[in-house]
Amino acid sequence: MTKLDMRTPDFTNENIAQIAALFPNCLTEAKDEIGNIKKAIDFDLLKQELSANIVDGTKERYSLNWPGKKEALVKANEPINKTLRPCEEESVNFDTTQNLYIEGDNLEALKLLQESYLGKIKMIYIDPPYNTGKDFVYKDNFTGDKDEELEASGQKDEEGGRLVTNLESNGRFHSDWLSMMYSRLRLARNLLKDDGVIFVSIDDWENHNLKRICDEIFGENNFINQRQFIWHIPNGTNKGFIARAHEYILGYAKNINELKPFKRDSSQLSISTERCTNAPTTGNPTSEILFPKGIRYDGISAVFEGIIGDNEPIEIIGKMIFENGLLKNDIILKSSWRNKKQVMDFIKNGIAFDEKGQKVVDIFFDSNGKPKYTKELIYSSPKSVQKFKTSTDIKMPFSNQKPVELVKFLSALVVEDGDIVLDFFAGSATTAQSIMEINLNTKVHFILVQLAEILDSKNPDLKLACQLCNKLGVPETISEISKERIRLSGIKILEENKNKDGIENLDIGFRVLKVDSSNMKDVYYNPDEINQQNLFDTVDNIKEGRSAEDLLFQVLLDWGVDLMLPIRKEEVVGHKVFFVDNDALAACFENDLNEEFITALAKKEILRVVFKDSGFANDDIRINVEQIFKQYSPDTEVKVI
């Protein structure tokens, strides 16, 4: 049985492997910081491979650079020995909910989600700090003296990470913000489905720079329709020379060629009537179409001949006769057609679709004898300027919260049943409330990530937030306010829709997971460093105080299993076993596992099974585990930690 790796992927090595597969001659060797030989890429050769001309030195090119960009790229790629620890007491419907709330640094959370949600997220919406000179930004520096970190920022986590107020006076007004966003957006792109979309709210301070780094990460051609949404704020500020009355929302597709047309909200579905013809000035060539008798006419009886219509002339070949509201005879019309293929498809087959896949449901003649068609409007091209109510309905003690209607509007454009929406700057959890509200008519899941950012009790704007935390008996952090909003939103939605059919099935729960250090002792990752001092750590390589639930979620992360799947606990021959999604995975981390237990579990024919390496009653049983599974469930993958 092999051991699970129990750490996040090393993206640098994965990138090297992919480049080496394409250009094997560019693979070389280099020494790392302690002198060990490692694989590397010869960048001079790689540059030459990607150029039709001889490459001679560094050339100027169009790009956005800032101090710290390379370090941000390294931070995004380097692996971490972290995990997500479940917190059932802060969750709602922990075992069955398909929503996640992750508390911790979002850079680390994004790394931890890479295995389980690679290419699985349909929509990402984030409302990051706007870099106004007062917002906190993440400084991804996990080294240095803790006291220095505290003195420099006033905020830090247990691992030495920090938040700093990004004042213009620090001389790195744009650079710190860009570095923070660059590493996170690179990881976020990996999580999007091929037809997935990311929307980012931003204001004038960094809109231009955000556009540049998104162009680099997602590709300029994937900027949706080459324009952004402008959110008109009805209560903008009147400071300065020009009153602020809008913000921006940038949208990028993972792959614009895979992106489906934006859907209409179910309440906006309608039938559209359009002309079949165009003005000749549009450039469409004139051609003939045969319209068969029996097509509906909006008048009663009439006869048309010659040419009808001034701006969009239609030549009638012969006489077009209508009687009793129907076309009496087959008729050939010659004109510049707007959608000739749709018209001919409908005439031939009785059904047609436009280029967006919208259904043409009828073709008829209006009272003036002009052909028209009607189609179902299920897709939309929303206007670039949007207005949304700023109230949240759930009174939260924060200013500048994004309106629920904004996130509902964006979600309605792209998400469908079973899709996942990710927000890794969750703030007051507007996204969670929005998703729960749209789930009255669909079934979408959310993943929220929010740092346990400490509230400044001296800030008068945060006084009510601190009072709420004290009332709840929880730490004074944004994440605690965020979780409480989700709870209140769920209760409110259920109450307001208590008479709706199936309301009892609405998922108002969320599974709280917290970023923490690995459950495994250092010796697990560095077996070559065993010495007399840490020899006993090899007997049980799991840290003190870590529960079976903690181990389960690190296994799910390492194995790339969906963290939203339902979890069931069951006793098998006297031992507690976790079953994830019934037969997707079974895990038992107890000691003294005997052959009777192993056989009983094997007979359940689970897809994947994991045990603790030190959990078997003796070495003979450990050796026989694979043989037992081969006998009763040969397709089961068995591993240990």
- 167-186 pLDDT, tens digit per residue, is 555 544 688 899 999 999 99
Q: Please name which of 640, 636, 513, 627 lies closest in space to residue 587, comparing C-alpha atoms.
A: 640
Q: Please name which of 344, 289, 281 lies closest in space to residue 311, comparing C-alpha atoms.
A: 281
Cβ neighbors of 126 (< 8 A, separation 6 or more) are 188, 198, 199, 200, 201, 423, 424, 425
Q: Which domains does the chain have, with CATH numbers?
A: 2-61 (no CATH), 98-265+382-514 (3.40.50.150), 270-377 (no CATH), 532-640 (no CATH)
Structure confidence at residue 531 as a pLDDT band (50, 70, 90): low
Widest Cα–Cα separation across the chain: 105
Q: Report the percent of the chain where pLDDT is more than 90.
A: 61
| Long-range contact pairs involving 16-24 (C-beta distance under 8 Å, separation at least 24) | 16/40, 16/41, 19/46, 23/49
Higher pLDDT: 171 or 572? It is 572
Cβ neighbors of 626 (< 8 A, separation 6 or more) are 1, 638
Question: What pLDDT was estimated at residue 44?
Answer: 83
Angle, in degrees to the nearest 10, between helices 207-218 and 175-191: 40
Question: What pLDDT was estimated at residue 163?
Answer: 62
Question: What pLDDT was estimated at residue 291?
Answer: 97
Q: Residue 125 pairs with which residues in a beta bridge?
A: 199
What is the mean predicted confidence (pLDDT) over 441-448? 96
Beta carbons of 29 and 38 less than 8 angstroms apart: yes
Question: What pLDDT was estimated at residue 264?
Answer: 77
Q: Residue 591: is its pLDDT beyond 70?
A: yes
349-371 pLDDT tens trace: 999 998 888 899 999 999 999 99
What is the mean predicted confidence (pLDDT) over 534-552? 81
Question: What pLDDT was estimated at residue 145?
Answer: 39
Beta carbons of 551 and 542 less than 8 angstroms apart: yes
What is the mean predicted confidence (pLDDT) over 415-437? 96
488-502 pLDDT tens trace: 999 999 999 999 999
Higher pLDDT: 153 or 339? It is 339
Question: What pLDDT was estimated at residue 497?
Answer: 96
Q: Residue 381: is its pLDDT beyond 90?
A: no
Beta carbons of 308 and 333 less than 8 angstroms apart: no
At 523, list the tokens: 């010796």
- How far is it, in rounded angstroms, from Cα 501 to Cα 514? 35
Question: What pLDDT was estimated at residue 171?
Answer: 44
Question: What pLDDT was estimated at residue 141?
Answer: 47
Structure confidence at residue 388 as a pLDDT band (50, 70, 90): confident
Tokens 């990402």, located at residue:
124
Q: What is the dihedral of CA 259, 260, 263, 269, to 10 degrees?
A: 170
279-314 pLDDT tens trace: 887 778 899 999 999 999 999 999 999 999 988 999
Q: Residue 121 pairs with which residues in a beta bridge?
A: 192
Question: What pLDDT was estimated at residue 277?
Answer: 93
Cβ neighbors of 240 (< 8 A, separation 6 or more) are none
Q: What is the DSSP string of 505-518?
A: G----BEEEEEEE-
Question: What pLDDT was estimated at residue 558?
Answer: 94
Residue 529: Cβ within 10 Å count: 9
- Mean pLDDT of all residues in the chain? 87
Helix, coil or strand: residue 255 = coil
**Count of residues making up the chain:** 641
3-state SS of 404-434?
Answer: HHHHHHHHHHHCCCCCEEEECCCCCCHHHHH
- How far is it, in rounded angstroms, from Cα 292 to Cα 285? 22
Distance of CA 7 to the CA centre of its chain: 22
The pTM is what? Answer: 0.80
90-140 pLDDT tens trace: 999 999 999 999 999 999 999 999 999 999 999 999 999 888 766 555 656
| 104-113, 236-245, 576-585: the lowest-pLDDT one | 236-245
Structure confidence at residue 165 as a pLDDT band (50, 70, 90): low
Q: Residue 315: is its pLDDT beyond 80?
A: yes
Q: Please name which of 219, 263, 217, 268 lies closest in space to residue 122, comparing C-alpha atoms.
A: 263
- How far is it, in rounded angstroms, from Cα 598 to Cα 329? 80
| 28-42, 362-376, 443-457: the lowest-pLDDT one | 28-42
Beta carbons of 119 and 193 less than 8 angstroms apart: yes
Q: Residue 608: is its pLDDT beyond 70?
A: yes
Helix, coil or strand: residue 151 = helix
